[in-house]
Amino acid sequence: MLEWKKIVRLVVPIVFCLMMVIGVMGNGILIYIVLANKCMKNVPNILIVTLSIGDLMMLIVSVPFVAVLFTVNEYPFNNLVCKANQYLQTFSMAVSIFILTTLSGNRYVAVAYPLSKHKGKSTLKIVITVTMIWILSALLAIPDSVSFHTDAIPTAHNASIQICRAYPPEWESWYPKAHSMFRFITLFVIPLIIIGIFYCLMARILVKSTRQLPVESTINSAMTQQQQRQIEARVKAANFKVVLMFVVLFVICWLPRHIYLIGFTGQMTHISISFGTFSKSFHTV
């Protein structure tokens, strides 16, 4: 048992460091490429850059602190770090979820209304949407900054160790289950339902539009310029595999955490906080 603890204390921080390096490099390169190329500054890429910024914030600010937790026997940081780490985890999680949901809606609009990007100020609209997502995510994370706090728990020989407690003891009769279910519904179930609806509608439209494409011999003679633009837009919009991959990774990384929190509410110490950060770090990579 002692040897196993030594292995965990050595291996887990190394894994966290590797995830941080890979995540920072990957997200940083993505942000640089999009910002450095004017032709790539479109609505989907703005959303993906926003997703990467949230991930970078999580990787740089929270992951190093959490990696240290596996090398010590008690929580080594102060109350502010305890609150800030969990706040940033929830904030980054909410940003990621809402951005993925918005991406699926944006792809649906691109498929259903391929010429809509030529009308109105789409960039301004998406900037307003992203701003609202960040504000909403910041508000949703406030309860964690309030409930999380450092606390000393007694051990043998009249000693005590410090932990980062998820809830005050007087809240543990009702708050943990209610809070976990609220986050599961608002940050998992509802977004996935919305995303699933958008993808089903997209698949239906793409199958239907594919059957209606003109035959090759009539493309140059019978098609108007507007029809050509519609087909090109739909063909481009059909390539939504990257967004779908983000969604699949999101489910794989976050569903176990929600199950854990619902099943073991009231038992969150700094180790369970580390599990949540591991899930998020894997998702950002």
Q: Over 70: is that where the pLDDT of 228 sits?
A: no
Q: What is the pLDDT of residues 29-42, one digit of tens each?
A: 989 998 888 887 78
Structural domain span for residue 12: 2-214+222-284
Q: Over 80: is that where the pLDDT of 89 sits?
A: yes
Q: How far apart are alpha carbons 259 and 12 in whole angstroms?
A: 22
Average pLDDT over residues 54-77: 82
**What is the overall mean pLDDT for the chain?**
77
Q: How far apart are alpha carbons 231 and 236 in whole angstroms?
A: 9
Q: What is the tally of structural domains in the chain?
A: 1
User: Which of 46-50, 119-123, 131-135, 214-218 comes out lowest in average pLDDT?
Assistant: 214-218
The CATH number given to whatever domain includes residue 260 is 1.20.1070.10
pLDDT at 142: 94
Q: Over 90: is that where the pLDDT of 86 sits?
A: no
Q: How confident is the model at residue 117 (pLDDT cuts 50, 70, 90)?
A: low
The pair of structure tokens assigned to 139 is 């508000």
Cβ atoms of residues 234 and 209 within 8 Å:
yes
pLDDT at 40: 79
Q: Over 60: is that where the pLDDT of 97 sits?
A: yes
Q: How far apart are alpha carbons 213 and 55 in whole angstroms?
A: 40
Tokens 């990774």 -> residue:
249
Beta strand 160-165 with 149-154 is: antiparallel
Average pLDDT over residues 58-72: 81
Q: Over 60: is that where the pLDDT of 185 sits?
A: yes
